[in-house]
Chain A
């Protein structure tokens, strides 16, 4: 079981990096956000300095790449469904869940690379974060990414159509993004949005990320976010593995 999961993870990683230009583009996006968006937030943050703005925006941008980077990874499964390679793996003696788990694990590895790059850039720009907080941020990001990747694979195997999949993702992405306070904290939002925001799981991840970057290790948002995303990640991963059963008995 583990051997096959490792095998598929390695295979997927090799596939991702066979043309390193695409993962590089993926990694650059959050960096560009930091460089170009954080300065815009300066006037909105209480301290009014770039560091304050970055402290608010860096955790948000990390959660953003965790969710939106992984949400698109299911597209790969659709093309493999179409070219028959998924079917081929389903007939092989491979442990079935490994076929999906390998992709999810690949997404995690890519995420960690992206996160480290973002952190390096943020630190160069003046953000400071403690070692414990750093590890917790990375773990939270991994759990968030796991949830999104599982969701994406499951959705891909259910929708099985690139067009339908991109429409579905677009429908959900904008409200989830805005209601999480990714760009502008929910504290500035009207009451009805403040009321709705806690329904959005990503809101909790962003709040917890901000607490960690602010060094408030005792903040309640941190255990809430971890519990929520570990449960959600387990659920979506199980769903994605079960969806595979639908294409192959």
Chain B
């Protein structure tokens, strides 16, 4: 196991003129990350993803809980833990005035590598950064900066890499490119723990993931397992009387869910269930304005576990 964490907790206290406020950012999170896997922490903004990563990377001390990272105790041997990991924060940490090469070489020197120059050249080459290696950081594009940030975190070939929201703010092309690079990391044996609030990212990239909400793990598994748990397909209907329609369709579905004027019906085999559903609605005289059939997504998992869609949860915070 690369990471074994039990019962991580963190409460922040903020003092202001209005008095002290406490925010329970993380409320008992357990994580197990195997060697060489891409492990995702999926959740809306404010769910406690970054706090979890910051605790696991020795930046902040947990209020409670224990963790072993790459064989070292997080609380007792933070220095040993730091040697084993690469950390790429949401902000990235690329400096404006110095060049990517200088920053990467500095990181290599901090890790006391034998040949910082060569190590920097190699990682620059690997991330297609050789061309802009000697330009000041501020002249790089968003996608290039991301790659530099990851290159800095990887120069010492750590067995474990933390990526906090790695593709936030990137255009689709850069995002797909970065996904490929993260997959290559797994192929070279690096374990990756990444946080994201993008469903498609978690689905496409992660071997296993946890979904967290309000500082707690609400689901854990492979993307496939999680989606199967909810059911294979989801049929989204706009009907005149969603509540009555839900009652009508209940016998055909594993689960139905009404969300304002939208009715979601979860079924195992959408293509074959659809004709029967339509017939049932017609028999009851329920008017239908639109219908859509989709494979269920991690958002359906999130909805099933928390009663909200990930988009709504993100907007509320």
Contact = CB atoms under 8 A, between A and B. Distances in A.
Bound pair (A, B): yes
Interface stretch (A82-90, A158-166, A217-225): A82-90
A94 interface: yes
Given A91-B57, A92-B110, A15 B98 contact: yes
Contacts of A18: 97-98, 136
Contacts of A80: 95
A79 interface: yes
Nearest to A22: B97
Contacts of A14: 98, 102
B110 A91 contact: no
B174 to A, nearest CB: 18
B82 A82 contact: no
Interface string B133-168: 000100000000000010011000000000000000
A7 B102 CA distance: 12
Contacts of B111: 92-93
A19 B93 contact: no
B85 interface: yes
A91 B85 contact: yes
Interface string B75-98: 000010011010111111111111
A15 B94 contact: no
A84 B102 contact: no
A249 B61 contact: yes
B97 A15 contact: yes
Contacts of A249: 58-61
B258 to A, nearest CB: 43
A84 B59 contact: no
A161 to B, nearest CB: 15
Given A84-B89, A84-B91, A93-B110, 10 more contacts: A7-B110, A11-B98, A15-B95, A84-B93, A84-B94, A84-B149, A91-B87, A92-B82, A92-B111, A248-B59
Please provide the 8 A-B residue pairs with the shortest distance between their CB atoms, ordered closest to farther. Answer: A84-B91, A84-B93, A88-B93, A91-B87, A85-B93, A84-B89, A249-B61, A94-B110
